[in-house]
Structure 1
Amino acid sequence: MAAQGPSRRDRVRQATLAEIRAVARKLLIEKGPAAVTINAVAREMGMSGPALYHYFAGHDELVGAVTADFFRELTAVVEAARDSCPPDEHGRRLLAACRAMRGWAIMHQAEFGWVFASPITAERRPDSPRELAGRDFEQVFLEEVAELWKARPFPVPAPGELHLSIAEQLRVYADSSGVDMPVEAVHVFLTCWIRLYGLLCMEVLNQLSFAYSDLEPVFEECLREMAPKLGLDYDEATPSR
């Protein structure tokens, strides 16, 4: 007997959930994060606030669901850029993924700002949609660096050179991420990631506008500096201007 698909009731519920998240995104883009409230979304949909609680338990759950959507969209863009390069060219794949991340962030500044500082006040559950989607996004970069390490190990600190606390924290992180790299290699990856992601966050949040009107060459300079740390060749990007 063929498996039955979702019931009409389930399809209607899923469609309403998708509409709620779409309305929340519209409010975010047009009016900012503070405008994304249960009552505001309900008004846009012609519903009452209490009616919306049949779909989301509260503001935190709504924010988490919308943030998960953004992470999934960003992950799909990054994976597509990565996979446009040959499977064995890990350097090109990694650079393509980094550039795709910036491209999406610049085109969707409200969404990226929300991802970076999503206003969730309750404790984040490791199995929540937001955390799972965020982990999938992070894994795109982490797994590519792990493949790069496997193919051509890059320079890392000598064993015992890292502060004991740093080494232990990275060991826990590596184990939880399922990545097969020594903690010293994970340290190099995270050092590069913090520099790159931090620069992008500052750009999207307009924290560098006092000095720069065009941060694309600054981002490329960051990639150029990161490349030798990971033992890969830097390929110049095609200028967007």
Structure 2
Amino acid sequence: MHALSPVRAKRLRAETIAEIKSTALALMRSGGPGAITLRAIAREMGMTPNAIYGYFATRDDLVTALIADVYTALADAVGAAWTASAEDEPAARVLAWATAFRAWALDNPEGFKLIYGDPVPGYVAPEGGAAPDAARRVCVGIAALAAAAGDRAGSPAPGPAFTWDDFDPGLLAKVRSAFPDLPPSGVALALRIWGHLHGLVTLEVHGHLRAQTLAPGKLFRSELAQLIRSLGFGAG
């Protein structure tokens, strides 16, 4: 029997890793995050449990790789939408970013649930997070929406003023490096925007809107229009 060439061996390994990841997401779809185990994946793929350890030494290594893939794909999708929109049309940029976020979530429900849903039981992320670069890109993208609003959002809502102490230092490190002039109220605005965009999408991905509306996309666009007006961008 001829030995595999290095190129072919590398390709076969990459294909097996991709199948392991897709099988893990399929198990999560049918059984929730707790269904992701190396033994279950090996069983589904017809592999021995020992064989799968040659690809991922632990279940947490696999989950980390999955989160990195998923988060990177999301960051790529919303980043591309932001870049493709006109810089001098902030309303269009908000619309493009938000629409891309929803479209990606609906196309990748298991991935969305993996990074924004219930955690995988017992999973311990590596120091710095599973996908620090992708997480930073998504955070910066949301902050960009707030920075684009600038002073156009009108008077701040009544209540106590925000200070830097109100926010996680890790979040501030991501946001302030990209937008050093963004004040604490701008960070708060970014989180409020995130809440607007994330809330309806989460309800839709988890199927909670099905009994309430036959037009979730129309509902989301209406919410976006309201958000855009509240940011001082007009009707959008």
TM-score range, shorter chain: 0.7 to 0.9
Q: Is the 8 A contact 2:24 2:41 kept in 1?
A: yes
Q: Give the structure 2 partner of residue 139 of structure 1.
A: 140
Misfit runs of 4+, over 6 Å? none
Q: Give the structure 2 partner of residue 205 of structure 1.
A: 206
Q: Please give the per-residue CA displacement for 1:88-132, whole angstroms capped at 9, x wherever unaligned.
A: 323211211101111122233233222222415334335343344
Q: For 1:32-181, list aligned pairs within 5 A.
A: 32-117=32-117, 118-119=119-120, 121-146=122-147, 148-149=148-149, 153-155=152-154, 157=156, 161-162=160-161, 167-170=164-167, 172=169, 173-177=171-175, 178=177, 179-180=179-180, 181=182
Q: Is the 8 A contact 1:39 1:49 kept in 2?
A: yes
Q: Give the structure 2 partner of residue 214 of structure 1.
A: 215
Matched AA of 1:20: I
Change (3 A) 1:66 1:75: same
What SS does the corresponding residue of 1:217 show, helix, strand or coil?
Answer: helix
Change (3 A) 1:213 1:53: same
How much has 1:34 moved relative to structure 2? 4.3
The number of aligned residues is 225
Change (3 A) 1:143 1:192: closer
What SS does the corresponding residue of 1:218 show, helix, strand or coil?
Answer: helix
**Stretches of structure 1 lacking an aligned partner (at least 5 in a row):** 1-6, 236-241
How much has 1:183 moved relative to structure 2? 0.4
How much has 1:187 moved relative to structure 2? 0.8
What SS does the corresponding residue of 1:212 show, helix, strand or coil?
Answer: coil
Q: Is the 8 A contact 2:65 2:130 kept in 1?
A: yes
How much has 1:31 moved relative to structure 2? 5.8
The normalised TM-score by structure 2 is 0.78
- Rounded to whole Å, the distance in 1 between the matches of 2:20 and 2:144 is 33
**Stretches of structure 2 lacking an aligned partner (at least 5 in a row):** 1-5
Q: Is the 8 A contact 2:161 2:185 kept in 1?
A: yes
What SS does the corresponding residue of 1:129 show, helix, strand or coil?
Answer: coil
Q: Could you tell which deviates more after superposition, 93-102 or 57-66?
A: 57-66
Change (3 A) 1:87 1:163: closer
- Rounded to whole Å, the distance in 2 between the matches of 1:183 and 1:170 is 8
Measured on the aligned residues, the alpha-carbon RMSD in Å equals 3.0
How much has 1:226 moved relative to structure 2? 1.3
Change (3 A) 1:208 1:50: same
Q: Give the structure 1 partner of residue 197 of structure 2.
A: 196
Change (3 A) 1:126 1:138: farther
